[in-house]
Chains A and B, each alone.
Chain A
Amino acid sequence: MAAADSPFSSTFRRRPWTRGIVHLLLIAGSLMFAFPVLWMISTSLKPLREALTSPPVWIPSTIQWQNYVATIEYIPFLRYTINTVVVCTLATLGTTLSSALVAFSFTRLEWPGRNLLFGLTLATMMVPFPVVMVPLYGVYRELGWVGSLKPLWVPTFFGSAFSIFLLRQFFLRIPKSLPEAMSLDGASELRIFRQLYLPLSKAPLAVVAFFQLMYSWNDLLGPILYLTDQSTYTLTLGLQAYRSQQGGTEWHYLMAASVMTTLPIVVVFFLVQRAFFQGVSSLQNVEG
């Protein structure tokens, strides 16, 4: 670990007790943020009558693991999970690859119209979805994709404005001298992209991939609109099944289903977060 890894480094050296303060602040913050999630887990294990009470019940009187079993039986859980995994894997792959290519075109290369088209890219994020929903449905229908999973992942292979923007911001921090040196050595742009930008951007690429994964995993509107056959449903769509109108919502099942839906993503996040945050050590050696 280098001597001054963060703004705190010197403060921690001089006054070690400040570490404790930061720990405290982080504990308080994370507990506040995580609290509703803990509540969700707690409710998922409660019998129905304890779900909404005053004063609130923290620990269920009996821990009902059977809620989880019942939740799986209520809907075709495994089928939905498989569908969701398929869509997410494809979407993540598609977005990461294509967005990196496009972000590169906005960064390293200087070509006329670049800035204009970048502005246009940003502008596409500003169009509220409800109004493009109807004509877009028409486009998918003409392509014959309605009723299949295709509308959920094929468009991602063409890039996503959000990812392009994010990657561009990270790409812009790579000093110009590096690619210029490579170019002087006779490397093609594609090679510069593959051998310089991609490896240096492992962290932001992981971030982009994960965000797309998260988005696709929790996407509700897309599946609602484009999926018609129950065997193609995704998990978020499946969650709707627990909410009945006048028969009453099975709160404990809904919470259990939400836990089970969230768990895979949490696990993935925990495993890959090191990749986000390890920083780019090679950048540290370049003094700009």
Chain B
Amino acid sequence: MRSWLALIALALSFAIGRSARGDEAAAGRVRVTYWEKWTGMEKAAMEAVVQDFNRSQSRIWVEYQAVSVYQQKTLIATAGGDPPDVAGLLAADIADFADKNALIPLDDFMRGTELRRERYLPTFWDMGVHRGHTWAVVSVPIVVALHWNKDLFEKAGLDPERPPRTIAELDAFGQKLDRFQDGKLVALGFYPADTNWWPYGWSFWFGGRLWDGGANITIDAPENVRAFSWFQSYARRYEVAELQNFSNEANFDSAQNSFLSGRLAMVLQGVWMGNFIQKYRPDMRWGAAPFPSEKAGAAPVTIADADMLVIPNGARHPREAFEFIEYLSRQGPMEKACLGQKKTSPLREVSAAFFREHKNPYIRMFQDLASSPGAMAQPRISVWNEYTLEIRNASQRLWLGEATPEQALADVEAVIQKSWDREQRRQSAPASPWLSRLPFFLIALAAGAIAFAVVRERRVQARVTGVAQPVRSNASLWKGLGFFSPWGVGLGLFLAYPVMSSVVYSFCDYSVLSPPRWVGLQNYADLLDDEVFWIALKNTLIYAALALPFGLLVALWFAILLDAKLRGSSLYRTLLFLPALMPIVAGAIIWLWMLNGEFGVVNHFLSELSFGAFPKISWLAERSYALPALVVVSTWGVGQTVVTLLAAMQDVPSSIYEAADIDGASFWQKIRHVTLPMISPVVYFNAVIGIIGALQVFATPYIMTAGGPARATLFYTQRLYENAFYFLRMGYACAMAWILFLVVLGLTLLAHRIGQSRVHYTGV
């Protein structure tokens, strides 16, 4: 016993000792909070600069806080009136946030300081400019280029030092680099969709633009159609299933990355690719050059993106926040941050030391690209988030051959043009003051309705039983309310106001960052007209129809087996319950690996068990398999249901089974006529919980497929979340929520109706 205690004490002290310590003294200084999305290496790089700033003066203390889901959190905090002083956003967020008055303009602060447009590369500076004001400053930039494997070039008879310079050359080189073995594709020259991180970017190399800067969405322009036709040509030339084996969406950061493992010869990637090559294949000879354009002799083009720093509206210390931003803009700190993150610098002037110390051998090329006029930023249009998702969906549809480029782009144009028109028409009309009082009015109304219903029920009761108040004391209203009160109070405090608010919002145009505007039933009307809404609803209903019965059956199956009370049952129970205990993120990631087409364990087993007959299926990349695969993953977490069912089964008195045995009942008859009826209240419970859960499914599919491929696994709550937090259409999202509520209510009432006849309560 003693030795165990000593061991535990040792382990604890070890853990305490090694555990990282936070918190340093910041007494007497103004505390500036800085929320940033980075973790790991990027975080370390920026934190070093933060610490330099803190050391360089004694008035301000900047505290870096790594924030997950940074966008949602910054949004809510800003809307709630207590945002951080400095926030790290992406360039794509700026237009939206600025339009909704969520940011403090930096123009006044900038006067007379070193933070000037002239010191920055124009492309990156302009990412923070919107409608004539500067709202954000780039912190760390990103550019992309073609990367190629020189060894593979040599083996295919190509000059390893000469990358393709036009799209036509890219295609030709690519075909030369393809290698087949026994009719199967084992090495690929180029694959535009290997990560599909910039589905909108291909247009840039074809001279296309996505927006004319004014009222028109130009996704369907001829240059863009050419770009997406070229994109689709790859899906046409090869088998989509074969190409999937080269996809890096799930395994980008691993030795299995198709480029890193030498199976893919050329990729479009960012300046960070050098890090990964260094990490997994330091022996690879590789090159990087501007990605080829359609026309020969065209100036080099790249996709430019950046992380930006902003001062949210409502920040407590905007002056001090700006001082930090200004500090970062100086060449020393900026280069330190960019060097630490292994990216290019957004400044015009770059020191020789920067190039010398940078680990990426092609940093000069990247820096030149960033400075060139060919550095294309994303359109600074406030509907950009929605635009990107539509383009991504279109590219997935093209890839699966479900549409022609003209059709797919026309569809995108229709949706986004409508959104953009609506956005532009949206006046900055003042919010009606009565809106903020409406939720309380509704709460009073609801409470009144409940009270009325209660009084009516009492009157009915009195009429039926013939007495004004029943003799038995347990029918007292006060006693009932007394026991009910914890929940009632909680309801009132934490649920009534948020729920009623969301009802009000569903009739409003509400962007979270600006006050809501009443629009009546417009949201609901728009929803009925919204194609994506119907897709999401359909997918969710199909998912629920599959997952619920399947899950219940599997749970019942195991509960019955465990009820046999064999030796070792406690071990089996634990193993079956284990998946439900795991953090959702870890579980989703593991399944993502396991379902991978090329190296996933599931395919490995299926192939072994069938002696190679079973083909390697890319479960999550094919429309017909993705949703069923997610149903299976959800069943994996069914342990909770097993536990409740088993607990109920153990309660069944053995005398009933004895009686059944005497009557000569078979095993299945006992299950049907004894076990199931006796546990029916708990089955009913699990059915209702299951309905609610299945219709609200979100986290796991979101992590695994993000709604793909081509919205085959886009579920309702994900779309709701997108509307609320990406497109900043909270009112619209609330309308979606209440429609879902009605659907769930309907199905639950249905379950209740079935339950009335089938559920058997022994107590009542």
Q: Report which A residues bind B (CB closer than 8 A).
A: 1-12, 19, 22-23, 25-27, 29-31, 33-37, 39-40, 49, 51-56, 69, 72-79, 98-99, 101-102, 104-114, 116-117, 120-139, 141, 146, 155, 157-159, 162, 164-166, 169-176, 183, 189, 193, 203-204, 207, 211, 214, 218, 220, 224-225, 228-231, 236-237, 239-251, 254-255, 258, 261-262, 265-266, 269-270, 273-274, 276-280, 283-284, 287-288
Complex CA–CA separation, A136 to B573 (angstroms): 37
- Among A8, A129, A220, A283, the one with the most B-chain Cβ atoms within 10 Å of its Cβ is A8
Complex CA–CA separation, A224 to B68 (angstroms): 7
Majority DSSP secondary structure for residues of A touching B: helix
* Given contact pairs A136-B494, A248-B253, A279 touches B650 in the complex (Cβ within 8 A): yes
* Given contact pairs A105-B483, A112-B457, A33 touches B578 in the complex (Cβ within 8 A): yes
Whether the pair A102, B484 counts as a contact (CB closer than 8 A) is yes
Point out the residues of chain A lying under 8 angstroms from B614, CB to CB: none
Whether the pair B20, A172 counts as a contact (CB closer than 8 A) is no
Whether the pair B594, A39 counts as a contact (CB closer than 8 A) is yes
Whether the pair A131, B561 counts as a contact (CB closer than 8 A) is no
- Which residue of B82, B476, B501, B591 is within 8 Å of A146 (Cβ)? B82
Whole-angstrom distance from the CB of B617 to the nearest CB of chain A? Answer: 15
Point out the residues of chain B lying under 8 angstroms from A25, CB to CB: 561
Whole-angstrom distance from the CB of A224 to the nearest CB of chain B? Answer: 6
Majority DSSP secondary structure for residues of B touching A: helix
Can you list 27 residue pairs at the A/B interface with Cβ under 8 Å? A6-B657, A39-B594, A40-B582, A54-B598, A55-B604, A56-B599, A99-B487, A109-B483, A110-B474, A110-B480, A112-B477, A116-B450, A124-B499, A126-B741, A131-B733, A135-B498, A203-B650, A207-B644, A207-B647, A236-B585, A240-B585, A242-B40, A258-B583, A258-B586, A261-B583, A269-B577, A279-B650
Complex A-B, nearest 4 residue pairs according to Cβ-Cβ distance, in ascending order: A158-B490, A54-B599, A111-B480, A244-B40
From 611 to 661 in chain B, residues with beta carbon under 8 angstroms from any chain A beta carbon are 636, 639-640, 643-644, 646-651, 653-655, 657-658, 660-661
From 690 to 730 in chain B, residues with beta carbon under 8 angstroms from any chain A beta carbon are 692, 696, 699, 717, 720-721, 724-725, 730
Whole-angstrom distance from the CB of B47 to the nearest CB of chain A? Answer: 12
Whether the pair A165, B590 counts as a contact (CB closer than 8 A) is no
- Among B21, B648, B675, the one with the most A-chain Cβ atoms within 10 Å of its Cβ is B648
Closest to B504 in A: A135
Closest to A116 in B: B453
* Given contact pairs A134-B512, A269-B577, A7 touches B563 in the complex (Cβ within 8 A): yes
Whether the pair B717, A134 counts as a contact (CB closer than 8 A) is no
Complex CA–CA separation, A8 to B22 (angstroms): 58
* Given contact pairs A123-B745, A132-B498, A173-B763, A72 touches B724 in the complex (Cβ within 8 A): no
Complex CA–CA separation, A51 to B73 (angstroms): 32
Complex CA–CA separation, A73 to B734 (angstroms): 42
Complex CA–CA separation, A134 to B733 (angstroms): 12
Whether the pair A159, B486 counts as a contact (CB closer than 8 A) is yes
- Which residue of B270, B450, B636 is within 8 Å of A113 (Cβ)? B450
Closest to A55 in B: B604
Complex CA–CA separation, A249 to B349 (angstroms): 32
Complex CA–CA separation, A276 to B255 (angstroms): 45
Complex CA–CA separation, A122 to B734 (angstroms): 19
Binds A, one of B230-238, B379-387, B564-572: B564-572
Point out the residues of chain A lying under 8 angstroms from B675, CB to CB: 7
Q: Convert B138-155 into 0s and 1s, putting 1 for each residue whose CB lies closer than 8 angstroms to a CB of A.
A: 000000000000000000
- Which residue of B66, B564, B598, B745 is within 8 Å of A6 (Cβ)? B564
List 6 additional contacts besides A26-B562, A52-B251, A247-B275; criterion CB under 8 Å.
A4-B654, A39-B590, A69-B18, A72-B15, A122-B688, A245-B42
Q: Is B576 an interface residue (CB 8 A)?
A: yes
Q: Is B529 an interface residue (CB 8 A)?
A: no
Point out the residues of chain B lying under 8 angstroms from A254, CB to CB: 586, 589
Complex CA–CA separation, A265 to B495 (angstroms): 29
Closest to B760 in A: A173
Whole-angstrom distance from the CB of B509 to the nearest CB of chain A? Answer: 15
Whether the pair A277, B76 counts as a contact (CB closer than 8 A) is no
